[in-house]
A and B are shown apart, each in its own frame.
Chain A
Amino acid sequence: MTGRRGLAALAGVVGVLAAMVACGVARAQTDANFAAHSGGVLRLVSASAGGTIDPQVNYTNEYWQLFVNVYDGLVTFNKAAGKASNEVVPDLAMAIPTPQDGGKTYVFTLRKGIKFSNGATVTPADVVASFQRLFKVNNPNAGSWYANIVGADKCLAVPATCTLAGGVIGDAQAGTVTFHLVKPNPEFLYQLAVPFAAILPAGTPPHDMGTVPVPGTGSYMITSYDPQTKLVAKRNPYFKVWSLAAQPKGYVDEIDYSFDVTDENGITAVENGHYDWEFDPAPADRLAEISTRFPRQVHIDPLLAVYYAPMNVNIPPFNNIDARLAVNYALDRKAAVNIFGGKNLAVPNCQILPPGFPGYEPYCPYTLNPGTTWSAPDMQKAMALMAKSGEAGRQVTVIADDQGVDPALGTYLASLLNKLGFKASVHVLSANIQFNYIQNTNNKVQISITQWYQDYPAASDFLNVLLSCGAIHPGSDNSINIAGYCNKGYDAKVAAAMQTAITDPAAANAQWAAVDKDATNAAVWATMFTPRQLDFVSKRVGNFTFSDQFHLLFDKVWVH
């Protein structure tokens, strides 16, 4: 027994030593890699700036992609490629805490010695102040994601005096921050992992900072920002790596983000090596060119998103389910994919959830041979449903925005509706207003073209956020349930799945799959396709790493 113990102890020591050696080698390799590839300026370009650089206000892909290199939360998404990027990892917190009190309490212990880019050390007081500030600056999701924190109701009522008393409690002695929730929330960690929950210095003014950079803890700090011309981010002099998964040290010394360059010019500039990457999607007429001439510089990655046409179920003609079903059966998803750029850039989709998303089970009833995948439109069935609906001849206006492929999708949809017997036209609005316009019930939008990209990898981000009764706010520009679909039975299933997710995510995903089928069968959307991301980079860019959450990770990229 003793001998065995001694042998086990020896094996343990050897194992630890081996792990240390392996770790050392890995570290040495990482260091060698870093020395060989670090330096230079990464030159990004976009047609326009993304608005404010306040991480607690800005809600754009364009800047979230940058913020993850500048700011940290208590937790974050793993800075890795593929599925691994959907994992939440500890960031400023030492570990992911085990929920207490039935999922209503989380205690985070802060790492010691982490500094902001202004030299100040991160303390629990900064964490508390950051969550108070989130309400004071009217964060876009303060009323949804963060409304479940104890004290949030008072903060939402009077943001200026927000304290979150009893909701977020810092303990400077213990170096901990405790969150108390009103009820368990299976997505709380996801909601802490996005840039909204970035930890900022306690003294940060309680208003949108606009173009003034706020100090952060990330590998880079924003040093200048002019939305008309350029944003510059340089290395944070106080940054030291505490977790490669959460916040690695970036390879490039500087990130320059230039604005006011059209997508066509941006592509040409990347081809010529004047810029390294363009934020805007490559124009359709340049796809063949770049994929033929520069195949090694093109990267295709899956996106967790859908392009869809929400149909207003509360006004004619789409308050008639037969009319909605007819549109779904008639929709040529291959045509929509062609508009987007072809089969390599999009996948036909009939349901609400995108492929690869938690809770996704392939399902397509709206095809010639119903099953799991879409094959072709079923016009015969569509025309029969139209005849049954009695809605032929009805005026329908498709509302599309003026960016990317949306006008073309709108034109196609109007053409399809005319084929079905409607009198359809398309109305193209500026992308600055279209998304809000189609949400407002006062505008009586019948059908529109829009898209939804995941905020975090949870089925509720589609099925609850976009289709529950609670997501309808009549007369508001922020009524994200654009179809106006409200079904108490559906909401009950959503609530049950969210409850299950607290303790058993796998079982919850099975429930979400059923909810997805319910929503798909109700035909409240005509889902078109799930897009793929095409990134076109300059010849000198190396180590391209694509995260499901934040797409191209700028800190992983090196330039020669």
Chain B
Amino acid sequence: MGANGPWAVGFAKLLRDRAAMVALVVLVLMVAACVAAPLYARDIAKTDPFASNLDGSIMLGGQATDIMQSSATGFGVTPIGPTWRAQYALGADDQGRDVAARLLYGGRNSLLIASGATLICLALAALTGIVAGFMGGVVDSVIARALDVLWAFPVYLLAISLSAVLISHGLQIGPVTINANSLLIPITIIGVVYVPYVARPIRGQVLSLARSDFVLAARCLGVPQWRILWRDVLPNVTTTLIVFAPLMMALNMLTEAALSFLSIGVQPPAASWGTIILDGEGLLYTRPAVAIAPGIAIMITVVALNFLGDGVREAFDPRAKLRQTGS
């Protein structure tokens, strides 16, 4: 045990955490299924999940069945329900599209946005937290107050405001232009709004590290600041960032779903689990599966991420270790 470094100890502990491992397996399966979405759509469902199919039909039990079915009274047209077969396994949405295929495609976008936003959030949080905590003085005051201002906004209000503006016109930062329909818009927005949630604890940790003996010793020896940051400070905050990663990813996934449900996240015909719930909102009375299926997918993923996050925290967070030792 003594020969192993803290990373090896942490990973070993994580591997022993059954709940975290089950969660990891669930997540891997979820990601694998979503990555295989094109194969499923092309070879199993045999459908284009982005094309409306309002006038089409499929063969069920040897009979041609309309995908959009008129009611007996002639009022209202209801999409076909779950067939539990290869085609339209979970039924169709209000455009006559295969819900199962869209669920997998939507999962790709939801997972991509959640992980992309998490990376942006952690990177920005690490940068601002470390710079503020290590530099101190005016730089710290400015960054800390800026984080306070960002923190003071209700996160959904801020995300909705940014989305409403950027979804209309896109984003231009110098020579870089992000199209209004690009997934980079929700990724950036969600990544930015949660920066204070991570940056503030990182800053606190760095403030403490900056006054620690080993950093003071390095300074006294004339070690350059960048080297102290790189060799002494960053490794110490990395575990905190790792602990935050799955938890932030879960939070980001919920935020993406909320924004997409409000039509200000992923833009149609692209899909995410949030947009599929929105598609299903108008079918709750007749085809509840359209809204419930992505809801269940979100729930499973978020619960798995939370279990994994707990496991990672238990394995890598020094305070968790201290608590265990103390008990």
Q: Which residues of A contact B (CB under 8 A)?
A: 264, 283-292, 295, 298, 332, 334-335, 338-339, 341-345, 397, 402, 407-408, 410-412, 414-416, 418-419, 425-429, 534
Residues of B within 8 A of A344 (CB): 73-75
Residues of chain B within 8 A (CB-CB) of A410 are: 268
Contact A342 B54 (CB under 8 A): no
For the complex with contacts A292-B73, A335-B52, 14 further pairs of A-B residues with Cβ separation under 8 Å are A264-B285, A284-B77, A285-B76, A287-B75, A290-B75, A334-B54, A335-B55, A339-B77, A341-B77, A343-B70, A412-B54, A412-B95, A416-B52, A418-B50
Question: Would you list 18 pairs from A and B whose C-beta atoms are within 8 A, ordered by A residue?
Answer: A264-B284, A284-B283, A285-B287, A286-B285, A288-B78, A289-B76, A291-B74, A292-B73, A335-B55, A338-B54, A341-B77, A343-B70, A397-B181, A402-B263, A415-B52, A415-B269, A425-B267, A425-B270
Asked if B71 is at the interface (CB within 8 A of a chain A CB), the reply is yes
CA–CA, A290 and B50, complex, Å: 31
Q: Which residue of B lies closest to A419 (CB)?
A: B51
Main secondary structure of the interface of B (DSSP, over half): loop
- Complex CA gap A127/B94 in Å reads 51
Contacts of A427 in B (CB 8 A): 167-168, 180-181, 267
B282 at interface, CB cutoff 8 A? yes
- The chain A residue sitting closest to B73, CB to CB, is A291
Contact between A426 and B269 (Cβ–Cβ < 8 Å)? Answer: yes
B157 within 8 Å of A (CB atoms): no
Q: Name, among B50, B73, B76, B181, the residue most crowded by chain A CB atoms within 10 Å (CB to CB).
A: B76
CB nearest neighbor in A for B94 = A408
Question: For the complex, what is the distance from the CA of A334 to the CA of B51, rounded to whole Å?
Answer: 16
Q: Which residue of A lies closest to B284 (CB)?
A: A285
Q: A342 to B284, alpha carbons, bound, how many Å? A: 18
- Are A332 and B54 touching (Cβ within 8 A)? yes
- Residues of chain B within 8 A (CB-CB) of A412 are 52, 54, 95
Q: Would you call B250 an interface residue if the criterion is a C-beta within 8 Å of the partner chain's C-beta atoms?
A: no
Q: Are B71 and A291 in contact (CB under 8 A)?
A: yes
B143-179 Cβ-contact flags toward A at 8 Å (1 or 0): 0000000000000000000000001100000000000
Give the residue among B51, B75, B269, B286 with the most A Cβ atoms within 10 A.
B75
A449: min CB distance to chain B, Å: 13
Q: A289-B285, A338-B68, A428-B268 are in contact. Are A295 and B54 (CB under 8 A)?
A: no
Q: Indicate whether B217 reaches chain A with its CB closer than 8 angstroms.
A: no
Alpha-carbon distance A418/B51, docked complex (angstroms): 8
By the criterion CB–CB under 8 Å, are A429 and B168 in contact? yes
List chain A residues, Cβ under 8 A from B95.
408, 411-412, 415
* Chain A nearest Cβ from B272, distance in angstroms: 14
User: Pick the contact of A414 from B68, B78, B269 — CB < 8 Å?
Assistant: B269
Q: Is the Cβ of A415 less than 8 Å from the Cβ of B283?
A: no
Minimum CB–CB distance from B104 to chain A (whole Å) comes to: 19
Which 3 A-B pairs have CB atoms at the shortest separation, nearest pair first?
A287-B76, A288-B71, A335-B54
Within the complex, the shortest CB–CB distance from A357 to chain B, in Å, comes to 24
Residues in A with CB closer than 8 Å to B283 are 284-285
Q: Report if B72 contacts A (CB, 8 A).
A: yes
Q: Are A411 and B269 in contact (CB under 8 A)?
A: yes
With a 10 A CB-CB cut-off, give which of B50, B95, B269 has the most chain A CB atoms: B269
Q: How far is the CB of B72 from chain A (nearest CB, A)?
A: 7
A288→B69 CA distance, assembly (Å): 11
Chain B nearest CB from A188 CB (Å) reads: 40
